[in-house]
Amino acid sequence: MHATERERVILSLLDEQGFISFQSLAGQLSASPATLRRDLERLQEAGKLVRVRGGAQLAADAPQPNRAHLQGVPFHENINRYRAEKEAIGRAAAELCRHGDAVIIDGGSTTLQMCPHLGHLELQVLTNSLHIVSALLQQPNTSVLIPGGTVFREQNIVLDPFEDVKAQSFHAARMFLGSAAIGRHGLMQSDIILVQAERKLLRLADEVVALMDSSKFEASAGHRLCELSDIHTLITDSGITDESAKMIENAGIKLIVAEP
């Protein structure tokens, strides 16, 4: 993780609590103690935080970090892109759910398309998406849980890089998720805060099911969410190239091609 990315995470964590201990910070970031000390010193010199015994706190006159915005395409712009393909992918993903399953459905314009096909399954669903919450509330037999965190309005998603005790007690058969891009390095996202929050949810599921329209194989993003080896099943549309399909199959991932 680059220094600018670590600084953004540090400020986001401070914005959430006002204070963070050095021990807690070391547990959140993959960096040496010496590197973290340099990060804190640099942020203190910039007037963005004050180092105190055992950790750091936000400077009283520091501008508040913009935690209402994530890097990437806003949800309202993304929802109608490749709409027919996403609907087919969502329908195929719903067919993987079994009656009474506990599942995680990560926020996204493709995962949202699962919702119309879930009402009869009496699922327990943990989701960080307010769009998905709204869709599932129309289903009286679907139990809906949401993690704690901050609402990012452009994506209508709830994220928190801290550990959520309530979410930690949830165990899912599968986690359904999308991402900004996919390639030989794995699933990629555009925002480090999104990656930090989604990795927590990945640890709660037995299987990871990626929902990716075929355009995501040609896209690029800077932050790796997980490696290909972490994915059990990938659902895409018939636009996937032979080269991309071979990459997925060579990684040992079950490939499902959904026809619009």
pTM recorded for the entire structure: 0.76
Q: Is the dihedral of CA 29, 35, 40, 43 positive or negative?
A: negative
Residues 120 and 19 in one domain: no
Q: Give the model's pLDDT for residue 255.
A: 98
Q: Is the pLDDT of residue 75 over 80?
A: no
Q: Which residue has the tokens 């970090």?
A: 65
Taking only the tens place, the pLDDT of each residue in 109-158 is 999 999 999 999 999 999 999 999 999 999 999 999 998 877 887 788 98
Q: State how far the Cα of 65 lies from the Cα of 114, in Å rounded to an integer.
A: 34
In a domain, residue 65? The reply is: no
- Determine the structural domain holding residue 48 and report its residue range: 3-58
Q: Do 9 and 123 belong together in one domain?
A: no
Percent of the chain that is helix, strand, coil (3-state, to 5): 35, 25, 40
- Residue 68 lies inside a defined structural domain of this protein: no
Our separate counts of H helices and E strands in the chain read: 9, 15
Query: Distance (Å, rounded) from C-alpha 74 to C-alpha 186?
Result: 22
67 vs 118, residue with greater confidence: 118
Residues 165 and 199 in one domain: yes
Q: Determine, yes or no, domain membership for 63.
A: no
Nearest alpha carbon to residue 190 among 54, 65, 66, 74: 74
Tell me how many domains the chain contains: 2
Could you tell me which of 202, 220, 108, 224 has the C-alpha nearest to residue 155? 108
| Claim to verify: residue 170 and residue 42 sit in the same structural domain | no
Mark whether 211 and 134 lie in a shared domain: yes
Residue owning tokens 């609590």: 17
Edge-to-edge, what's the strand order for the sheet holding 186-189?
181-183, 186-189, 223-226
Indicate whether 50 and 122 sit together in one domain.
no
Q: Is residue 9 domain-shared with residue 116, that is, in the same domain? A: no
The dihedrals phi and psi of 217, each to the nearest 5 degrees, come to -75, -20
Q: Is residue 44 part of a domain?
A: yes
67 falls within a domain? no
Taking 90 as the threshold, does the pLDDT of residue 10 lie above it? Answer: no
Residue 167, H or E segment: helix 165-168
- Does 101 lie in the same domain as 27? no
Tens of pLDDT, residues 204-239: 999 999 999 999 999 988 889 999 999 999 999 999
pLDDT number for residue 103:
98
Stretch 26-43: mean pLDDT? 87
Is the residue at 111 inside a domain? yes
The stretches of 59-129 forming alpha helices (DSSP H) are 75-78, 83-94
Residue 64 lies in a domain: no
Give the highest mean pLDDT range of 4-18, 160-174, 179-193.
Answer: 179-193
Residues 106 and 155 in one domain: yes
Residue 150 and residue 221 in one domain: yes
Q: Are residues 105 and 197 in the same domain?
A: yes
Asked if 120 and 10 sit in the same domain, the reply is no
CATH of the domain at 135: 3.40.50.1360
Residue 201: what pLDDT?
Answer: 92
In a domain, 80, yes or no: yes
Q: Where are the beta strands (DSSP E) in the chain?
A: 19-21, 49-52, 55-58, 102-105, 124-127, 143-145, 150-152, 157-159, 172-177, 181-183, 186-189, 205-211, 223-226, 233-237, 254-258
Tell me, what CATH number does 7's domain have? Answer: 1.10.10.10
